[in-house]
């Protein structure tokens, strides 16, 4: 698999990443092993996790598998801190205390002495200077190699990047993680331009529109799908509406004409969109991951990519004209 630089940093990762949000919950240890083996076999290197995933169980499972498979030198582990579920409530705590506590827990669960890319999981109520100071401390103590942000809107991305560049000794941010797909193009308005201006790599999450762009919901909610589960139905439902159906049908038509699967068309559109470093694949089984990895040598014709731009929200201003 081809690799790409993470923004202006020296870090390079595969141009597809493997997400672990469902690990140790909807994805069993056996399935996770198959996913990781298949991903690495295909040349994938970037594996994304978070302290919040499965209340830490996803990190714990990833650390176990990396050790058992001897992949310590083959994968780039990205994790996140500052977001958690406590006493049954989803909270954001980006205080220095919470971030460094999350980091120490992540290192223990992952069985490592450092994390390759550590990201603030969300914008919080703590002063931004305090949150970013925790990042600088983690870097200076050798606990983290590169730093990034996740789920920041445009002005937050610019403010965080500017703060880190304001004084010598602060750690420049390397990346931003944001939802981006044919069903979620808001990132093009401010986040992607901010990333380009500050030299940040971009990691889109849910590049398949929370699974809707696979086409599996065209005639209902399949048993075993995310929308059929109690803990993920809320996540998928916003994209099960008329406008989304129109985009899905356009993707299906494009797939039929190109002899590809709808998920492959949707993934290629994101992977090769201007400014993108690596979409994060949230596959729960090897059967879901295989067709995504099979597009390594594929690209969308310019006319198809532009037509999908038009049907999903209008031209992408950053896409080079032909």
Tell whether the model's pLDDT for residue 28 goes beyond 90. yes
154-166 helix and 191-198 helix, angle to the nearest 10 degrees? 20
Looking at the chain, the whole-number percentage of residues with pLDDT higher than 90 is 88
Confidence of residue 252 (pLDDT cuts 50, 70, 90): very high
- Of 163 and 221, more confident: 163
Report pLDDT for 223: 72
- Which of 48-62, 207-221, 270-284 has the weakest average pLDDT? 207-221
Superfamily of domain 3-312: NADP-dependent oxidoreductase domain (3.20.20.100)
Contact status, residue 226 vs residue 290, Cβ threshold 8 Å: no
Report pLDDT for 157: 98
Nearest to 22 by CA among 10, 34, 31, 12: 31
Tell whether the model's pLDDT for residue 227 goes beyond 60. no
Region 220-239 average pLDDT: 71
Looking at the chain, the whole-number percentage of residues with pLDDT higher than 70 is 97
DSSP letter at 279 equals P
Count other Cβ atoms within 10 Å, centred on residue 15. Answer: 20
Per-residue buried b or exposed e for 194-226, using 16+ beta carbons within 10 Å of the residue's own CB: bbeebbbbbbbbbbbbbbbbbbbbeeeeeeebb
How do the domains of the chain map onto residue ranges? Answer: 3-312
Nearest to 35 by CA among 11, 80, 5, 69: 69
- Give 61's Cβ-side CA count (13 Å radius): 28
For residues 24 and 239, what is the distance between their CA atoms, to the nearest angstrom? 26
**What are phi and psi for residue 209, nearest 5 degrees?**
60, 45
151-192 pLDDT, tens digit per residue, is: 999 999 999 999 999 999 999 999 999 999 999 999 999 999
Catalytic residue (one of 53, 180, 217, 239): 53
Tell whether the model's pLDDT for residue 219 goes beyond 80. no
Report pLDDT for 19: 98
Tell whether the model's pLDDT for residue 46 goes beyond 90. yes
Q: Which residue has tokens 């994805």?
A: 27
Report pLDDT for 235: 75
Cβ contacts of residue 315 below 8 Å, gap of 6+?
306, 309
Average pLDDT of every residue of the chain: 95
Confidence of residue 228 (pLDDT cuts 50, 70, 90): low
Report pLDDT for 226: 65
Tell whether the model's pLDDT for residue 12 goes beyond 60. yes
Report pLDDT for 237: 81
Cβ contacts of residue 66 below 8 Å, gap of 6+?
36, 72, 75, 77, 110, 111
Tokens of 43: 């040349």
136-147 pLDDT, tens digit per residue, is: 999 999 999 999
Q: Is 70 left (phi over 0), alpha (psi -120 to 50) or beta?
A: left
Quick check: is 53 catalytic?
Answer: yes
Which H/E stretch holds residue 187? none
């Amino acid at each position: 698999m081809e690799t790409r630089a993470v923004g202006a940093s020296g870090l390079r990762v595969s141009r597809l990443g493997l997400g672990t949000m469902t690990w140790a919950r909807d994805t069993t240890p056996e399935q996770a092993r198959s996913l990781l083996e298949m991903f690495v076999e295909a040349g994938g290197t970037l594996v994304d996790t978070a302290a919040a995933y499965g209340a830490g169980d996803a990190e714990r499972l990833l650390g176990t598998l990396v050790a058992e498979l001897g992949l310590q030198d083959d994968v780039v582990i990205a994790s996140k801190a500052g977001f958690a579920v406590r006493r049954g409530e989803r909270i954001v705590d980006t205080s220095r205390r919470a971030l460094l506590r999350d980091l120490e827990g992540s290192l223990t669960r992952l069985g490592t002495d450092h994390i390759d890319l550590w990201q603030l999981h969300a914008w919080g109520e703590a002063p931004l200077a305090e949150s970013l100071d925790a990042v600088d401390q983690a870097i200076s103590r050798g606990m983290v190699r590169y730093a990034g942000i996740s789920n920041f809107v445009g002005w937050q991305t610019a403010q965080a990047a500017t703060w880190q560049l304001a004084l010598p000794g602060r750690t420049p941010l390397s990346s931003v993680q944001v939802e981006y797909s044919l069903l979620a193009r808001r990132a093009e308005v401010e986040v992607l331009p901010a990333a380009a201006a500050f030299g940040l790599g971009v990691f889109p999450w849910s590049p398949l529109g929370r699974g809707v762009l696979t086409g599996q919901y065209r005639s209902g909610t399949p048993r075993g799908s995310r929308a059929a589960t109690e803990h993920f139905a809320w996540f998928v439902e916003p994209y099960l509406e008329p406008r989304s159906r129109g985009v899905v049908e356009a993707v299906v038509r494009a797939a039929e004409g190109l002899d590809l699967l709808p998920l492959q068309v949707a993934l290629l559109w994101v992977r090769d969109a201007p400014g993108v470093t690596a979409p994060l694949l949230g596959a729960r089984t090897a059967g879901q991951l295989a067709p995504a990895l099979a597009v390594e040598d594929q690209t969308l014709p310019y006319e198809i990519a532009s037509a999908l731009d038009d049907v999903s929200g209008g031209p992408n201003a950053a896409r080079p004209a032909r």
